[in-house]
A = this chain, B = another copy of it.
């Protein structure tokens, strides 16, 4: 049932229904009762936050290139590619609009956890690494800013360049 509902949300977003993304519309598309959806998710905002959490968790694989620089470069390029997908932007905008703070946080998925994993691995190798917070500011900050606010998502090459600014030398 959850998979059918998530698919219905993604289909309706792709059709640019805008304000028409309501629980009854999702229920009709998914072929389930609206009351079932209200019982499980409460509101379209909570439903969107759930879809966003699924979409942005595990969608980018944590690379293992042997160096923090290489890992972050590949990861940043993959996130840039993901954020350039119009369907991803439509999901993020709808979730930001209807999902409140919970929805907004869902749009990050597990990406800060992924940064933490790469940083921990570098430290386990005996290397030095910036904090997760600093790395999120330097990479996720511009990646999300460009995608959401400028209408011109950054390219994979630009994203790799952000890593060189974070880790000079």
- Rounded to whole angstroms, the CA-CA distance of A108 and B152 in the bound complex is 13
Minimum CB–CB distance for A129 against chain B, Å: 15
- Asked if A97 CB lies within 8 Å of chain B CBs, one says yes
What B residues does A108 contact at CB under 8 A?
Answer: 149-150
Please classify how large the interface on chain A is, using the bins under 10, 10 to 19, 20 to 34, 35 or more: 20 to 34
The complex is assembled from copies of this chain, and their number is 2
Residues of B close to A107: CB separation below 8 A: 149
Interface residues in chain A, defined as those with a beta carbon under 8 Å from any beta carbon in chain B: 18-19, 44-45, 93-94, 96-98, 100-101, 104-105, 107-108, 134, 136-138, 140-146, 148-151, 162, 165
Closest 3 CB pairs of A and B: A97-B97, A141-B141, A141-B142
